[in-house]
C-alpha cells in the first residue's frame, strides 16, 4: 500500500517553479522523497515544471528556439497542458509577496507584474498603457467589490504577488475545469488580506468560493505598532489559510470563517505548528459573516455596538505625501539652503533630477497651483531665482513635531488639495490609524498644521479627520443629524467643537487601547458616547483642554488665555545647549534617577519619566522629536539635499515647549482615565441610533444648524485652572 500510495502521489503531484536553482532542488528533493517512501518515479520524471505560474495558460511557446533551448520549449508545453487541462483537487504553496512600486526612472522599462491574472492576454498592451483595465482578466473579481463600494482608492494594495497567486489558485482548483466541484487551497502568505480595506474583494470571493475557511494568524509584524516575532526572516506578518469546498459551488451563503492565532517567539510558534495534526488541535473563534467582513473574530463586548469614528466624522483624507524628504526641514534656513543648491544645479539636468528626486512629479513639467487658481506653474527646471518660490508653512510632520515644509504642487507628489482648501485659522485635524492596528499609548492626536501622511505615529499612519470642511469653519464634518440627535437627548445643543473634543478625549487616553486591545486588532476605532449630559460635558471639557495643549495653544483657546501661549510645566532648561557647529549634539541621553535630559552639554531638569516615555501608538514622542534634530537627523534619505541640515543646535525653546505640553498632558491622564471608566459604566448610544453617512458626506461639504442652548464648556476649563 505504501509503495502504491507513493507512486500514485508521484504521478498526481505537479509543481511550478520559475527560478532554475529552486527548480533543480525541487526535482532532487521530490525524487528523494518518493524513493524513500518506496515509490517509483513516473515515466516522464517528477512533475516539476520550469514555468511562470502567472503566465497565460493559453500562451504559445516561443517558436524556432535554438537546439540548446529546445528542451525549455518542451517544458513550456508540458506546463501549459497542466494549466489548461489537468484538474487540480488541492493547491498548496508559499507564494512570493511583494507589492511592485515602479519609480519614475523605471517607467517604460520595468514590466508590471501580475501576468495573465492581472492583464488577461494583453500584457504587452498593458505595459504600454498604464491605464488599461483588462476586463477579461480574472483579477477583476477582486477589484469589482471595491469599485461598487467606491473604495478604489485602496486598490493599489491588491497589486501584490501573493494576491495574484491566490486568484490563480482559486481559478485553477474551482473554475478552470467543470470536473472539479470540490477542492482545497492552502497558502501561507502575507496576512494583509485579513483586515486591509483594499482586500474586501478577496474576502468576498473567498466567502463565495469556499464552504469553510480556517485562518491561522502567525503574526510577525516588525513595521507596525505591535511588533511580534515572525516565523520567517521578513518584516511582514504572515498567516496560513486553508479553504475547503466540499462539493457543488454555492454563492448565496458566505463561507464559515474560523480564526486562531499562534503567539510567542519564533521558536515557540514553530514548535506549536509542529504539533498540529488536525483542526481540533487548535482553539478556533468564528469570524463575522458579511461578504466583505474582516477575517478576524469579534468578541462579545459592547464595543462592537458603538459607532465607528469614521461614521461619526465621515470625511477622512490621507495626509500629505511628498515622496522626497528635502522639502521638509527643522527650520526655514535649511529649506532655503536646499533650494539654492537645487537651482544652482540647473545647468546639469541629470544632477538636478537626482537632487529633486523625481517620482510622480518631475522637474520638466508644469502643474497647477494647489488652489487651482491662476496659470500653470513654471517647471522647476526653468526656474533661475534662488529665492523660495513659495512661503514655507508650519507642517505636522509627526505627533507633536511641527516642522516646516514647501507645500507646492510641483514639489509634492500627493499634496492633498482637499486638505489645503479646507485649511484655516480654526481648522484642527485628528490623526489616527483607521485601517491598521493601533499600538500602546494614545490612539489619536491632533494638530493645527496640515499633517504628513505619517503624522500619527511615523509608520504608515495616513488617516486624517478634519473638524471643518471649509477654511471659514462654517461647515462641520459630523454626519447629518448626529449632533441634533445627541442634543435632543441632552436637551442642549452640542456644538461640532464639543463633539470633536469628546471623541478626542476618549481616544487620547491610553486606557482606551488597554481596555480594547483585542478589539482594536480589527481596524477602525469605535466611540462610546454617553447618554449622560453632565458626563459628556466633563469629557468634552478635558478634550478641549487637550486640543488646546496639543496644538501648542493655537486651537480651542480658553477665553482667559492667549493664543499660542504654552502653560509652564515642570521641566526646566538648566544649562542651554551651545549653538556652535562643534557642539552640535549627536545623541540625547536621559537619566531616570535624576530626571535629567542631556542634549550634548545642555541639561534639561525635571523631565519626568512619564514624559520621556509618552507614546502615541508606539511612537515615543520626545525621542522621535529629538532624533530628527540630532546632527545626522533621522529617517530614510531621498536625495543628497537631505544632507543639508542645521549647522548648530537652535531648538532649546522648542524642546521646552514640547516638554511643557507633555507635562500638562501627563497631569490630565488620571482625570481622563477616571472619566473614561465613568463613560463605560454609563448608558451609551449605539451605532444604530445614528444615521449612516451619505456618499456625499464622505467627500463633500454639508451644513447643519440647531436651535438648542449651547454647552458652555470653555468656561469650565477656566474654572478648573
Tens digit of each residue's pLDDT (9 = 90 or more) over 620-642: 999 999 999 999 999 989 999 99
Whether residue 342 is found in the same domain as residue 454: yes
Q: Classify 37 as helix, strand or coil.
A: coil
Whether the predicted pLDDT of 698 surpasses 60: yes
pLDDT at 591: 97
Provide the domain limits for residue 704: 317-563+669-720
71/157 same-domain check? no
Tell me if 28 is assigned to some domain: yes
Q: Which of 86, 113, 141 is the last residue of a domain?
A: 86
Indicate the angle between helix axes 161-174 and 140-148, nearest 10 degrees.
110
Q: How confident is the model over 440-453, as pLDDT tens digits?
A: 999 999 999 999 99
- 582 and 714 housed in the same domain: no
Cell of 676: 473614561
State the pLDDT at residue 72: 61
Tell me: pLDDT of 337 over 80. yes
State whether 652 and 675 are in the same domain.
no
* Chain segment 132-177, per-residue pLDDT in tens: 555 679 999 999 988 887 778 788 888 999 999 999 999 999 998 8
CB 430 within 8 A of CB 317: no
Are 604 and 661 found together in one domain? yes
Full-model pTM: 0.85
Residue 416 lies in a domain: yes
CA torsion 324-330-332-335 (nearest 10°) is: -30
Do residues 519 and 585 share a domain? no
* Residue 532 in domain: yes
C-alpha cell, 186:
492552502
pLDDT at residue 379, as a whole number: 96
More confident residue, 656 or 30: 656
Contacts of 571 (CB under 8 A, 6+ apart): 597, 604, 605, 606, 607, 608, 611, 656, 659, 660, 663
How far apart, in whole angstroms, are the C-alpha atoms of residue 494 and residue 693? 19
Q: Is the pLDDT of residue 108 over 70?
A: no
- Residue 538 forms part of a structural domain: yes
Q: Taking every pair of C-alpha atoms in the chain, what is the biggest distance, in angstroms?
A: 91
Q: How far apart are CA 438 and CA 442, in angstroms?
A: 9
105 belongs to a structural domain: yes
Q: Are residues 6 and 115 in the same domain?
A: no
The verdict on residue 306 lying in a domain is no
In a domain, 311, yes or no: no
Least confident of 351-355, 368-372, 463-467: 368-372
Question: What was the pLDDT predicted at 126?
Answer: 52
Q: How confident is the model at residue 478 (pLDDT cuts 50, 70, 90)?
A: very high
Q: Does the pLDDT of residue 707 top 70, yes or no?
A: no
| Per-residue confidence (pLDDT) for residue 181, from 0 to 100 | 81
Q: Is residue 78 in some structural domain?
A: yes
Q: Quick one: cell of 346?
A: 540647473
The verdict on 588 and 716 lying in the same domain is: no
What one-character DSSP code corresponds to residue 183? E
**Does the pLDDT of residue 104 top 70, yes or no?**
no
Q: Is the pLDDT of residue 721 over 70?
A: no
Q: How many domains, in total, are found in the chain?
A: 4
Q: Is residue 631 located within the same domain as residue 590?
A: yes
Same domain flag for 98 and 220: yes
If asked whether residues 202 and 288 sit together in one domain, one would say: yes
Q: Residues 191, 283: one domain?
A: yes
* pLDDT digits 0-9 by tens, 235-246: 899 999 999 999
- Average confidence (pLDDT) over 541-561: 96
Domain end position, chosen among 86, 115, 144: 86
What tens digit of pLDDT does each residue of 596-606 get?
999 999 999 99
Q: Which of 258-267, 322-331, 343-352, 581-590 has the lowest mean pLDDT?
A: 343-352
| Helices 482-490 & 496-508 angle (0-180, nearest 10) | 90
pLDDT at 704 over 60: no
Among 667, 684, 711, give the residue marking a domain's end.
Answer: 667
pLDDT in tens, 31-88: 998 898 888 888 888 899 888 899 888 877 665 545 455 566 677 788 888 888 889 9
Amino acid at each position: 500500500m505504501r509503495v502504491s500510495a507513493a507512486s500514485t502521489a508521484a504521478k498526481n503531484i505537479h509543481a511550478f517553479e520559475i527560478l532554475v536553482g529552486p527548480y533543480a532542488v525541487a526535482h532532487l528533493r521530490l525524487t528523494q522523497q518518493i524513493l524513500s517512501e518506496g515509490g517509483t518515479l513516473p515515466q516522464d520524471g517528477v512533475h516539476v515544471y520550469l514555468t511562470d505560474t502567472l503566465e497565460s495558460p493559453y500562451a504559445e511557446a516561443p517558436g524556432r528556439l535554438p537546439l540548446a533551448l529546445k528542451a525549455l520549449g518542451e517544458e513550456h508545453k508540458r506546463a501549459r497542458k497542466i494549466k489548461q487541462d489537468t484538474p487540480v483537487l488541492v493547491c498548496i504553496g508559499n507564494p512570493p509577496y511583494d507589492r511592485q512600486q515602479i519609480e519614475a526612472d523605471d517607467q517604460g522599462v520595468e514590466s508590471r507584474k501580475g501576468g495573465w491574472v492581472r492583464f488577461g492576454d494583453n500584457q504587452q498592451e498593458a505595459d504600454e498603457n498604464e491605464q488599461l483595465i483588462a476586463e477579461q482578466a480574472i483579477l477583476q473579481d477582486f477589484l469589482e467589490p471595491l469599485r461598487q463600494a467606491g473604495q478604489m482608492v485602496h486598490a493599489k494594495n491588491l497589486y501584490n504577488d501573493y494576491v495574484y497567486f491566490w486568484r490563480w489558485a482559486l481559478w485553477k482548483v474551482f473554475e478552470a475545469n467543470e470536473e472539479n466541484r470540490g477542492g482545497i487551497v492552502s497558502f501561507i502568505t502575507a496576512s494583509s488580506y485579513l483586515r486591509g480595506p483594499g482586500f474586501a474583494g478577496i474576502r468576498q470571493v473567498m466567502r463565495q468560493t469556499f464552504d469553510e475557511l480556517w485562518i491561522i494568524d502567525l503574526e510577525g509584524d516588525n513595521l507596525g505598532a505591535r511588533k511580534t516575532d515572525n516565523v520567517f526572516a521578513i518584516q511582514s506578518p504572515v498567516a496560513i489559510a486553508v479553504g475547503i469546498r466540499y462539493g457543488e459551488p454555492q454563492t448565496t451563503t458566505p463561507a464559515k470563517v474560523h480564526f486562531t492565532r499562534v503567539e510567542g517567539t519564533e521558536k515557540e510558534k514553530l514548535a506549536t505548528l509542529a504539533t498540529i495534526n488536525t483542526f481540533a488541535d487548535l482553539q478556533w473563534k468564528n469570524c463575522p459573516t458579511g461578504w466583505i467582513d474582516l477575517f478576524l473574530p469579534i468578541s462579545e463586548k459592547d464595543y462592537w455596538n458603538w459607532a465607528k469614528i469614521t461614521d461619526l466624522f465621515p470625511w477622512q483624507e490621507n495626509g500629505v505625501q511628498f515622496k522626497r524628504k528635502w522639502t521638509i526641514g527643522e527650520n526655514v534656513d535649511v529649506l532655503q539652503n536646499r533650494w539654492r543648491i537645487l537651482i544652482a544645479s540647473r545647468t546639469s539636468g541629470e544632477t538636478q533630477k537626482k537632487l529633486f528626486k523625481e517620482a510622480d512629479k518631475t522637474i520638466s513639467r508644469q502643474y497647477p497651483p494647489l488652489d487651482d487658481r491662476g496659470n500653470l506653474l513654471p517647471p522647476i527646471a526653468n526656474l533661475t531665482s534662488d529665492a523660495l518660490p513659495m512661503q514655507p508653512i508650519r507642517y505636522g510632520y509627526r505627533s507633536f513635531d511641527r516642522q516646516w515644509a514647501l507645500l507646492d504642487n510641483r514639489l509634492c507628489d500627493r499634496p492633498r488639495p482637499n486638505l489645503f482648501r479646507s485649511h484655516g485659522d480654526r481648522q484642527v485635524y485628528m490623526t489616527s490609524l483607521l485601517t491598521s492596528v493601533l499600538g500602546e499609548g494614545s490612539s489619536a492626536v491632533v494638530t493645527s498644521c496640515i499633517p504628513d501622511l505619517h503624522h500619527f505615529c511615523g509608520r504608515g499612519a495616513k488617516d486624517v479627520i478634519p473638524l471643518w470642511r471649509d477654511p471659514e469653519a462654517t461647515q462641520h464634518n459630523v454626519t447629518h443629524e448626529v449632533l441634533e440627535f445627541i442634543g435632543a437627548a441632552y436637551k442642549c445643543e452640542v456644538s461640532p467643537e464639543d463633539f470633536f473634543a469628546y471623541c478626542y478625549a476618549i481616544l487620547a487616553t491610553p486606557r482606551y487601547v488597554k481596555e480594547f486591545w483585542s478589539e482594536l486588532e480589527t481596524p477602525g476605532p469605535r466611540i462610546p458616547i454617553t447618554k449622560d449630559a453632565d458626563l459628556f460635558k466633563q469629557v468634552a471639557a478635558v478634550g478641549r483642554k487637550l486640543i488646546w495643549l496639543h496644538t501648542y495653544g493655537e486651537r480651542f483657546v480658553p477665553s482667559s488665555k492667549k493664543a499660542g501661549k504654552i502653560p509652564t510645566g515642570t521641566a526646566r532648561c538648566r544649562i542651554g545647549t551651545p549653538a556652535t557647529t562643534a557642539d552640535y549634539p549627536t545623541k540625547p541621553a536621559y537619566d531616570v534617577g535624576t530626571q535629567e535630559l542631556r542634549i550634548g552639554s545642555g541639561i534639561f531638569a525635571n523631565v519626568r519619566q512619564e514624559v520621556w516615555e509618552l507614546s502615541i501608538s508606539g511612537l515615543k514622542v520626545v525621542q522621535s522629536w529629538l532624533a530628527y534634530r540630532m546632527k545626522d537627523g533621522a529617517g530614510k534619505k531621498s536625495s543628497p539635499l537631505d544632507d543639508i541640515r542645521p549647522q548648530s543646535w537652535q531648538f532649546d525653546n522648542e524642546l521646552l515647549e514640547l516638554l511643557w505640553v507633555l507635562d500638562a498632558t501627563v497631569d490630565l491622564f488620571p482625570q481622563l482615565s477616571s472619566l473614561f471608566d465613568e463613560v463605560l459604566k454609563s448608558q451609551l448610544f449605539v451605532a444604530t441610533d445614528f444615521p449612516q453617512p451619505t456618499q456625499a458626506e464622505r467627500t463633500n461639504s454639508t451644513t447643519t444648524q440647531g436651535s438648542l442652548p449651547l454647552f458652555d464648556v470653555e468656561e469650565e476649563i477656566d474654572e478648573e485652572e
